[in-house]
Structure 1
Amino acid sequence: MKKVRLISRVLYVVIIPLFLSCGGGGGGEQPLPEPEPSNDLPARVLGALPANGEPCSDYEEVPSDESKVLIAFNWNAAQYADSYELVVLEDNSEVFRDTFSNLETQVELQRGKTYTWSVNSINEFGETSGNTYSFTTPGTPVGNYAPYAAEISIDFNTGTMEMSIGWIGNDEDNDVLIYDVKVWENENVLMEEANYTLDSLEPVLFLNGESYSVEVVSKDTSGNFSISTMSAEAP
Structure 2
Amino acid sequence: MKTMKSIAQMICFCMTLILCSCGGGSGGEQPPPEPEPSNDLPLKVTGTLPVNGEPCSDYEEVPSDDSMVLIAFNWNEAQFADNYELAVMEGSSEVFSNMYSNLEAQVELQRGKTYTWSVTAINEFGKTPGNTYSFTTPGIPVGNYAPYAAEISVAFNTETMEMSISWVGSDEDDDALTYDIKILENENIILEETGVDANIVDPIQFIDGVDYSVEIISKDTSGNFSISTRSFKAP
Query: Do the structures match in fold with TM over 0.5?
Result: yes
- Aligned residues of 1:73 and 1:106 also touching (Cα < 8 A): yes
Q: Distance in 1 between matches of 2:191 and 2:25?
A: 67
Give identity over the alignment, percent: 71
For residues 13-162 of structure 1, the aligned pairs below 5 Å read 23-24=23-24, 26-162=26-162
TM-aligned CA deviation for residue 25 of structure 1: 5.3
TM-score (norm 2): 0.90
TM-aligned CA deviation for residue 102 of structure 1: 0.4
Give secondary structure in 2 for the equivalent of 1:217.
Answer: strand
Partner residue, 1:11: none
Stretches of structure 1 that go unaligned for 5 or more consecutive residues are 1-15
TM-aligned CA deviation for residue 38 of structure 1: 1.6
Cα distance per residue 1:135-187 (max 9 Å; x no partner): 00000000111000000001111111110000000000111100000011111
Partner residue, 2:225: 225
Number of residue pairs matched?
Answer: 217
Give secondary structure in 2 for the equivalent of 1:43.
Answer: coil
Cα distance per residue 1:165-211 (max 9 Å; x no partner): 00000000111100000011111111011111100000001111111
Do the aligned partners of residues 25 and 159 (structure 1) sit closer, same or farther apart at CA in structure 2, a change above 3 Å counting? closer
Q: Distance in 1 between matches of 2:25 and 2:38?
A: 35
TM-score (norm 1): 0.90
TM-aligned CA deviation for residue 50 of structure 1: 0.3
TM-aligned CA deviation for residue 212 of structure 1: 1.1
- Aligned residues of 1:154 and 1:232 also touching (Cα < 8 A): no
Q: Which 4+ stretches in 1 moved above 4 angstroms?
A: none
For residues 136-215 of structure 1, the aligned pairs below 5 Å read 136-215=136-215
**Cα RMSD between the aligned structures?**
1.4
